[in-house]
Structure 1
Amino acid sequence: MTREFQVQGVPVSELARRYGTPLFVYDGTALRDRFHGLRDRLHPAMEVFYSLKANPNISICALLHSFGARAEVSSLVELTTALRAGVPPQQVIFLGPGKSRQELAACLDSGIHAVVCESIPEVALVDELARERGVKAPVALRVNPRFAVKRSGLAMGGRPRQFGIDEEELFATTDLVKRFPDVDLMGVHVYMGTRILHEAVIVENTTRILDLAERLSAALNLELRMVDVGGGLGVSYFDGESDLDAQVLTDGLHPVIEDFTARHPGTRLIMELGRYLTAEAGTYVMGVRYTKTSMGERFAVADGGTHHHMAAVGIGSFVKRNFPMAVLNRLDEPATEEWNVTGPLCTPGDTIGKKVPLPPVRPGDLIGVHRSGAYGPTASPGLFLSHGYPAEVLVHEGRCHLVRERDSPEDLLQRQRLYDPTAHDAADVPH
């Protein structure tokens, strides 16, 4: 009997029949195990904040919050999502280099724990908005440090960046507290990079960030009530990579955190995690429509592709490698052939896997891209060629929940307006 991929006992063929393909499937047990696998080992002073940018589905956020995760958001919709998912405002921080006036106002009006400011002009705008409201605005300063991350998939500090305020500039601007009287400068944030797969690097980065926070606190005369050490914990996708060992990581972090909290017992410590929490729990499921051979190479043409899962083709990476893939309805068959897995888009770039080792592929097969719970729809051109976004299904405690409906043609057209060249009514012209 052919072995089939299952999520908590639910066969993938049943999921495809009920919800159609392509679709993202999330395993709630995998989310829980991933969260607690780190949280239960991590020093109790370090709080885990879920970065919604990795997967902004409201049900994913709500489930992670039920396990104990807080929320880190970077847009008005992500802020609204976190609050509607049940995350209390004091468990929310907001960051990003180009926040709008509307977003900053929403932060102050909702009473979140901290606005992470990434430039001096942004601090000035927050000061203005706080004065209008008669409140003190809680602000953490994002720092672009002199030191750079080691062995990161994508560095986000240590060089000229749109992120944060250069370390040198902050140490030279010691009158910030006096200049902005309606801002409560209460913390420091540093985010060095992503996809770090070496425990010692994370420990070293954390050590240096905590040291920088202490020195800035003394130089700027700000009360250090929060330090966000970023995160960047990686997930292995490719041959030759290994997942982080949570025990090794936390054993290394524990004395660093213990030493810091002994000196700063009232400081709230934050680690941001997105990909690390959700990637492993997700599978992108595509149905094969056609198979063909072209100039000696095999092609499986599926109903899903890069418009839903751009991350799988190496967005942000110099080296393009395949995510782990399988024929989900025939797991026990050996991978004896190489297949190019392509999607329905009318572009040669819609190749989600090149020369992927698979068993002989047939129309009707279900191909899955594993480790797809992060940066799927949220980092993909879902409107390209007007295919829209796929369904998303959460399986938790053995039950299936449709947590995002598939886009329909009407969904994609309803916000457009048809121009009628025969009409003579006045056009909508801004005054």
Structure 2
Amino acid sequence: MSAFSLDSQYINIDKIESIPYHRLAGSVPTPFYAYSATQIKTDFAALKRALPQGIEYFYSLKANPNKTLVALLHQSGAGCEVCSLAELEIALRQGVAPSDIIFVGPGKHIEELTQCCLAGIKAVVVESIEEMILLNEIAASLGVTQRIALRINPDFTGAKAKLVMSGKSRQFGIDEQLLPQAFATLRELAQLNLTGIHVYLGTRILDWQALADNTQNILTLAARLQRTYNLELDFVDVGGGFGVRYFDKEQALDLSALGDALLPLVNDYRQRFPRCTIVIELGRFLIARAGIFVTRVNYLKPSRNEWFAVCDGGANCHGSAAGINALVRRNFPMARLGPARDGDQHRYQVTGPLCTPTDVLGENIMLAELRSGDLIGIGHSGAYGASASPVGFLSFGHPAEVLVENDQAYLIRTADSVETLLAPQVCQRLSLPNI
């Protein structure tokens, strides 16, 4: 598999946008993540051109919560879907209006719900009847009315999803058969205003027909609920789950075909419910292609009949590439970075510095002949990189992050140091409450 000729126009083996990797590695310690600002803008613009007019897009910060990237996507027209107090604060500090923020997640705690009420966000996406009751109590104590959306775990499931989020027993959402109880409870909760419906079926879907079918099923459910319960909704969030191809034999999502399939569905729904907007929330699809993970080969060593390239960053920095939480580990697109060098390709086991045999970034992968000090890049790494990795393992810490646009580079996160890693570790006596 070619490392960077899949879908990223602005990232190749030699450079990211106009900057060679060796220049970045001369200014930023390896390992690090680098992102192409132009790729982010290009991918979002292509999405909006292909899909029907009038859809609102929300960026899922869980994919990559770096505040500079959040600001870039918001400036391009994305709202924010957040899942924690820190993510909420990131969105607000980057100038995202509360009316452009939704808060999701099955285990929201009191402080998070309180801050949502104080900020007056677009909607708290409630995922259980118990959560509705708690949120109503908090809103009442603050003297506010909070907008909510009901996350529903429907009876149908998501076609072609790599990770199924609905249609079976899940911690996410309110089961469809419990909706009569949920609406009966909601009628008694004076501080909550139901403004939306939320359904998220699954992730990494590359089949445009499956995405269209999923959307139709969700809109049909929403329309039935609106008629049955006489609801005046502001939005229906149909989730997202748009996939990015990482591996051999995967086909990229056909945005043009998806747009053609969604157009009659969206138009029909909007004609019946003209005040209701359709929302799509996306993380991976907006950011994955724009990122590359850069690590340096520390040592080359033979073992039995194999050659190992031992790098300074591994599963601790890029757990997704190492297959953490994956049933089957497969190689992400990978290459030796920099100008071509004479010599054949060789088969390598690309590993990191961790004291575990699971620290494998590339298994039996063919790369241009390596030398100690070479840079290796893992493509399509903008989403679920360091933020989904055990960066605390062995106390290596979080890697640096860089944003590149044309011939300019910006440090957007410093690498952890010994000092920053040790600073939170304290030994102070606690004053325990009398219970």
TM over 0.5: yes
Spell out, residue by residue over 1:16-67, the C-alpha distance to the aligned partner (whole angstroms, 9 max, x if none). Answer: 0011200000000000011001012222221110000000000000001111
Structure 2 contact 18–406 (Cα < 8 Å) conserved: no
Q: Report the counterpart of residue 284 of structure 1 in structure 2.
A: 293
Q: Would you say 1:15 and 2:24 are equivalent positions?
A: yes
Partner of 1:157: 166
Indicate the SS of the match to 1:175.
Answer: helix
Q: Tell me which residue corresponds to 2:371.
A: 362
Q: Which runs of 5+ in 2 are unaligned?
A: 1-11
Residues 111-130 of structure 1 show CA distances to partners (whole Å, capped at 9, x for unaligned) of 11000000001011111111
Q: Are the counterparts in 1 of residues 64 and 383 from structure 2 also a CA contact under 8 Å? A: yes
Shift of the alpha carbon at 1:204? 0.4
Say whether 1:197 aligns with 2:199.
Answer: no
Matched, 1:223 2:232: yes
- Displacement of 1:317 after TM fit? 2.6
1:305 to 301, 314, 319: 314
- The residue identity in structure 1 corresponding to 2:75 is S
Which residue in 2 is equivalent to 1:428?
Answer: 430
Q: Is the 8 A contact 1:52 1:71 kept in 2?
A: yes
Identity over the aligned pairs, expressed in percent? 46
Cα 1:29/1:267, change in 2 over 3 Å: same
> How far 1:7 moved relative to its partner?
1.2
- Per mean C-alpha deviation after superposition, the further-off stretch among 256-265 and 308-317 is 308-317
- Does structure 1 conserve the Cα–Cα contact (< 8 Å) formed by 2:322 and 2:358? no
Note if 1:136 corresponds to 2:138: no
1:85 partner amino acid:
Q
- Name the structure 2 match of 1:107: 116
Q: How many residues align?
A: 422
Cα shift readout 1:382-417 (whole Å, capped 9, x = no counterpart): 000000000000002431000000000000000101
The reply on whether 1:206 has 2:215 as its aligned counterpart is yes
TM-score (normalised: structure 2): 0.94
* Matched position secondary structure for 2:187: helix
2:3 is matched with none
Report Cα offsets for 1:178-235 as digits up to 9, x if no partner.
2211110111000000000000000000001011111122333332211000000000
What is the TM-score with the length of structure 1 in the denominator?
Answer: 0.95
Deviation, structure 1 residue 171: 3.5
Q: 2: distance between equivalents of 1:266 and 1:55?
A: 32
Q: SS of the residue aligned with 2:56? A: strand
The equivalent residue for 1:265 is: 274
CA drift of 1:75 comes to: 0.4
State the match for 1:317 in structure 2.
Answer: 326
CA distance in structure 1 between the aligned counterparts of 2:41 and 2:152, rounded to whole angstroms: 32
The yes-or-no answer on 1:94 pairing with 2:103 is yes
Name the structure 2 match of 1:80: 89
Task: Report the counterpart of residue 52 of structure 1 in structure 2.
Answer: 61
Distance in 2 of aligned mates of 1:333 and 1:306: 30
5+ residue gaps in structure 1?
420-426
User: Helix, strand or coil: the match of 1:337?
Assistant: strand
Q: Is the 8 A contact 2:270 2:277 kept in 1?
A: no
CA distance in 1, matches of 2:172, 2:77: 28
State the Cα distance separating 1:249 from its structure 2 match. Answer: 1.0
**Counterpart residue number, 2:352:** 343
Displacement after TM superposition at 1:102 (Å): 0.4
For residue 279 of structure 2, give the secondary structure of its aligned residue in structure 1: strand
Counterpart of 1:26 in structure 2 is 35
Q: 2:405 aligns with which of 379, 396, 405?
A: 396
Partner of 2:178: 169
Summarize the Cα distance change of 1:67–1:335 in structure 2 as closer, same or farther, 3 Å threshold: farther
CA 1:52–1:332 in structure 2 vs 1: closer, same or farther (change >3 Å)? farther
Given the superposition, is the C-alpha separation of residues 259 and 414 from structure 1 closer, same or farther in structure 2, using an over 3 Å criterion? Answer: same
Q: Check conservation: 1:284, 1:369, Cα contact below 8 A.
A: yes
Task: Identify which range, 232-241 or 246-255, moves more after superposition.
Answer: 246-255
Q: Distance in 2 between matches of 1:366 and 1:34?
A: 26
